[in-house]
Structure 1
């Protein structure tokens, strides 16, 4: 019955986008249904957590450059992004560091529309040892981030040097960088690992002295959070609405959670996942390493011998998503 067609189409699996292309060529009525904004909105609301259709990674082969790798059966987009390096991806946008004619610049890219905007790096007027940046939606009022592409965005720039850490922000509405704010609580080099957004706070990692830098997007305050010294190689991740840490130790994926919302609250081990039953045997010829996470959907990336795996923290399902490249 026609009145049930839309209800059936709404229940197509979101991780197989090519099915909608097939549906659109069945007849003009189905094409109108599938392409209508009302259907897209209902589809997003029904499935809520979006699937991971692909990921951006930096390929360390000669000069490191960003590449898009699809994880669906039917390839819809892939390839290299020139000489640019991916820094962050969130709320439908990608932040890239690209070489320019005279100096590096940032590029905010919408992969769905291929629209992009170049941003000059902020003028810091102070020595910068290392820096990183994040991108996120800047919509006024509540936003579920289901279709906020094309709206205002915010870029947060964090750097370190001369015994301090500092942050400034770029608003697409204002079109300028904000004044610099700084703290003397951190003296380490900022890590190039991507930021993690938890609630209204962004978290950045530091390299030498094990710590995280928390930046509150509402109060514009910074604070430094210590990391357990028992962890050697770790990545900060989002865990069920809170900030966490992930590391591999003796063939086990160890997840740590902040004991409380306070800055000085300690860390507790959340769970330990045995990797030997999940990964192929040759993955342990060299120790696997946590190389990143997919923000908001509970997926951890593990690298082992030029092979990249994902592990779903809800189902413990493991997938091989890239092979033969140093991601």
Structure 2
């Protein structure tokens, strides 16, 4: 009995970078800054074709989930100034995203979300939605039923399918908030859709008895947690569910604190949370993170999740830090000292 040993056939393996599928997987793991894709697209025509593919770009944004934070908008005087936060070569020159408001008196910077900047003009009864990428500006008139809007918020019209990095492809919504005190004591919201170019029906809720006759100094900026927008005041939190079109008022557990030391954030379980500076002595100062959780009886209570002691940052500052803004896309709190 004889045995025959089979000789393995010679297989020619192509270099890994010659395989489009494998190269896609490698490029997918690049840092989220667009400059990396731009530089790789200059390698050759094949790499340029792969990095410009719409299917790859969608996978790239979904893979990274959270986009890099490009910078901060501020309003000194009559201009909207962009201050970049990334280092070179990803750093965007400030002049690329700065907006001059010559002869446009009365425009105030409200907030930024989903790649758009929102401005409010009480004199002209208008809201401006500015896209810094395309430099397009959309003007929205106040609804005829309301002549004064306390604050506004902007968000992508289809946030459930929203993909960061392609915000300019999405229509937008504008949500207004107006609180009436002494005239029915109620809070009113309305939603404008760029798809229809119209304001929807106004939604209102009567303030609880404990807030009757009290001026709710609602902060100008909102926080988006899930499908709900939240605004903070010294005595309460106003919540508006954008899906169910419902308004609610929640007790602010830090009623004795200044509003600029407390900030609404997204908790680790994707629910509602608060970040609050605690401690008068800067040696004992800490940032407390609170979460709102329902108990077995269905009643939501606030619970301390953790405390952060930032002595290395604030060791030379004796005054209490001011919370400027919470950025949902990168889960970052901006603090002014």
**TM-score, structure 2 length as denominator?**
0.77
Q: Does 2:181 match 1:152?
A: no
Which residue of structure 1 aligns with residue 9 of structure 2? Answer: none
Q: Distance in 2 between matches of 1:65 and 1:286?
A: 29
Which residue of structure 1 aligns with residue 305 of structure 2? Answer: 270
Q: Does 2:286 match 1:247?
A: no
Q: Does 2:30 match 1:12?
A: yes
What's the offset of the Cα at 1:190?
Answer: 4.8
Alignment partner of 2:59: what SS? helix
Asked if the contact 1:247–1:289 (Cα under 8 Å) also holds between the matched residues in 2, the reply is no
Asked if the contact 1:87–1:192 (Cα under 8 Å) also holds between the matched residues in 2, the reply is no
Q: Which has the larger strand fraction?
A: 1
- Matching of residues 287-326 of structure 1 within 5 Å: 287-304=320-337
How has the CA–CA distance of structure 1 residues 98 and 193 changed in structure 2, closer, same or farther, with 3 Å as cutoff? closer
- Look at both structures and tell me which one has the larger radius of gyration over its CA atoms: 2
- Matching of residues 221-232 of structure 1 within 5 Å: 221-228=246-253, 229-232=255-258
Which residue of structure 2 aligns with residue 315 of structure 1? Answer: none
Q: Does 2:82 match 1:68?
A: yes
What's the offset of the Cα at 1:242?
Answer: 1.3
Asked if the contact 1:223–1:263 (Cα under 8 Å) also holds between the matched residues in 2, the reply is no
Please list the CA deviations of residues 63-106 of structure 1 after superposition, one character each: whole Å capped at 9, or x if unmatched.
4753222111122242432344332322333222258xx61421
- Matching of residues 36-75 of structure 1 within 5 Å: 36-56=53-73, 58-59=74-75, 61=76, 63=77, 66-74=80-88, 75=91
Alignment partner of 1:259: what SS? strand
- Output the aligned Cα RMSD: 2.7
Which residue of structure 1 aligns with residue 294 of structure 2? Answer: 260
Q: Which among 113, 117, 125 is matched to residue 138 of structure 2?
A: 117
Gaps of 5+ in 1: 305-327
Q: Distance in 1 between matches of 2:194 and 2:84?
A: 29
Alignment partner of 1:22: what SS? helix
Asked if the contact 1:65–1:85 (Cα under 8 Å) also holds between the matched residues in 2, the reply is no
Count of aligned pairs between the two proteins: 291
Q: Distance in 1 between matches of 2:314 and 2:205?
A: 45
Q: Which among 157, 160, 169 is matched to residue 191 of structure 2?
A: 169
Please list the CA deviations of residues 163-191 of structure 1 after superposition, one character each: whole Å capped at 9, or x if unmatched.
32111111112211123222220553452
Which residue of structure 1 aligns with residue 264 of structure 2? Answer: 236
How has the CA–CA distance of structure 1 residues 144 and 180 changed in structure 2, closer, same or farther, with 3 Å as cutoff? closer
Higher RCO structure (Cα 8 Å, ≥6 apart): 1
Alignment partner of 1:197: what SS? strand
Q: Does 2:40 match 1:23?
A: yes
Q: Distance in 2 between matches of 1:171 and 1:204?
A: 20
Please list the CA deviations of residues 222-281 of structure 1 after superposition, one character each: whole Å capped at 9, or x if unmatched.
11101113533312122221111112122211111113299962312221100103x163
Which residue of structure 1 aligns with residue 243 of structure 2? Answer: 218
How has the CA–CA distance of structure 1 residues 300 and 122 changed in structure 2, closer, same or farther, with 3 Å as cutoff? same
Q: Which has the larger helix fraction?
A: 2
What's the offset of the Cα at 1:160?
Answer: 1.4
Gaps of 5+ in 2: 1-16, 102-106, 280-284
Query: Which piece of structure 1 moves more, 81-90 or 245-254?
Result: 81-90
Q: Distance in 2 between matches of 1:136 and 1:272?
A: 31
Which residue of structure 2 aligns with residue 317 of structure 1? Answer: none
